[in-house]
Amino acid sequence: MNVTIIGLGLIGGSIAIELRKAGFASKIVGVDKDPASGETALLIGLVDELASLQDSIERADLIIVAIPVDAARLEIPIILDAIMEHAVVVDMGSTKHGLAKVVSGHEKRSNLVLSHPIAGTENTGPSAAVEGLFLNKVAIICGKEMSSDIALKLVEGLYETLGMRVIYMDSKEHDLHIAYVSHLSHISSFTLGKTVLEIEKNEKNIFDLAGSGFESTVRLAKSSSSMWAPILEQNSEVISVALGTYIDNLKEFKSLIDSKDKEGLTRLMDQANDVRRVLDGIE
């Protein structure tokens, strides 16, 4: 099977590692708008060759789109125009409803599977690609009824090869849930990083005093702004609601701290501790 991967960063590169290891693809062709990223991916063996977008998709059996969500919304209709009749396209973006609307009337819509593997790190670029990134994680497929059985089976096989568990959602439902469990987490981390840098002017103190709690909480603030700005823009309405609830909770925390209400703070934190029960259920 000839596989084309468009976008040779963390996700695209890590997929390439797993597909090569499993023998899923006979050839992996890479496409990236950044020539340096493409050359790096070729040099470290993520892909067998580099090609233009048009050339790569005209001879691909499976096209994996792992680029920022704003670019995907523009490129995927063009990709569908150019693919072979049997080819399957799958996207990896973390917003879905806008893309679903853009492609809804395309004559090759059934060749496309909208998906989102819930995996990643704060690192970017082909050198960030790692083995095992997807193992035992969840992949979401949206609007499966819009994809052909052949396309769906191939993408399910792809995620099985990556070691992922597949679940199914409506695209609007996906964007709602992911706003709370992923997008809001990144906003919180970006805000914490910005706040600490504004208040603590002595960077050496940050380095010396930052414990594991701060490091783990602010880790996501190292994520790529060029990837996350389009995500937040495309899911802005749902994120705004989530952010409003988050701000209300911050205000309640501040009020209890200002009034030195130890019992109220304990109650609030005990309520938050219930998330342990949910997370402990995740294998």
The per-residue pLDDT for range 48-98, each reduced to its tens digit, is 999 999 999 989 999 999 999 999 999 999 999 999 999 999 999 999 999
d(CA 245, CA 166): 29
17, 25 contact by CB (below 8 A) = no
Side chain identity, residue 152: L
Give per-residue pLDDT as tens, 192-218.
Answer: 888 888 777 666 666 665 666 777 777
- CA nearest to 125, candidates 19, 33, 220, 24: 33
Confidence (pLDDT) at 276: 78
CATH number of 2-170: 3.40.50.720
Of the listed ranges 29-38, 115-124, 139-148, the one predicted with least confidence: 115-124
Sign of CA dihedral 122, 123, 129, 132: negative
φ, ψ of residue 90 to 5 degrees: the values are: -135, 135
Residue ranges, comma separated, of all CATH 3.40.50.720 domains in the chain are 2-170
Calculate the average pLDDT of the chain.
92
The residue with tokens 């209300």 is: 248
Length of the chain: 283
Topology annotation, domain 174-280:
6-phosphogluconate dehydrogenase C-terminal fold (1.10.3660)
Closest CA to 169 of 136, 145, 135: 145
Q: Is beta strand 112-117 parallel, antiparallel or unpaired with respect to 138-142?
A: antiparallel
